[in-house]
Amino acid sequence: MKEITVEDLKRMKDNGKDFQLVDVREDFEYQMSNLGGELIPLGGILIEADKIDKEKPVVIMCRSGKRSAAAVMQLEQQGFTNLYNLKGGILAWADQIDPTITVY
């Protein structure tokens, strides 16, 4: 499984790189704080896999990196090869990039 760090993600955002960010947390978590990604909770990731781009890089994120890793594994079994797990999730983002973001 390919992973990227929160520093890598910030660079991608800052440089205007064309990629898709998918947040696999639950709706209430997303409402509390998010990085602007598309919300597709882990429980529905295979049902909604058609919302995930197969051409450009896709970063999958969650709270800590565990659910997003599970999502990446499930999607890779469906043939996706362009996925990156966000190491440490939104907790790492709050710790290393933006300490003002709400974490739980």
- pLDDT tens-digit readout, 16-65: 999 999 999 999 999 999 999 999 999 999 999 999 999 999 999 999 99
Residue 10 counted as domain residue: yes
pLDDT at 51: 98
pLDDT at 63: 98
Residue 43 counted as domain residue: yes
pLDDT at 15: 97
Residue 74 counted as domain residue: yes
Q: Can you give the residue range of the structural domain that contains 90?
A: 3-96
- Does residue 104 carry a pLDDT above 90? no
Catalytic residue among 24, 35, 59, 62: 62
Residue 63 counted as domain residue: yes
Higher pLDDT, 19 or 103: 19
- Does residue 82 carry a pLDDT above 90? yes
Please count the structural domains in the chain: 1
Concerning whether 45 is annotated as a catalytic residue, the answer is no
Residue 55 counted as domain residue: yes
Determine which helix (DSSP H) or strand (DSSP E) holds 91, and give its type and residue range. helix 89-96
> Is residue 99 exposed (0-12), middle (13-18) or buried (19+ Cβ within 10 Å)?
exposed
Q: Decide: 85 and 60 in contact? Cβ < 8 Å.
A: yes
Q: What percent of the chain has pLDDT over 70?
A: 100
Residue 103 counted as domain residue: no
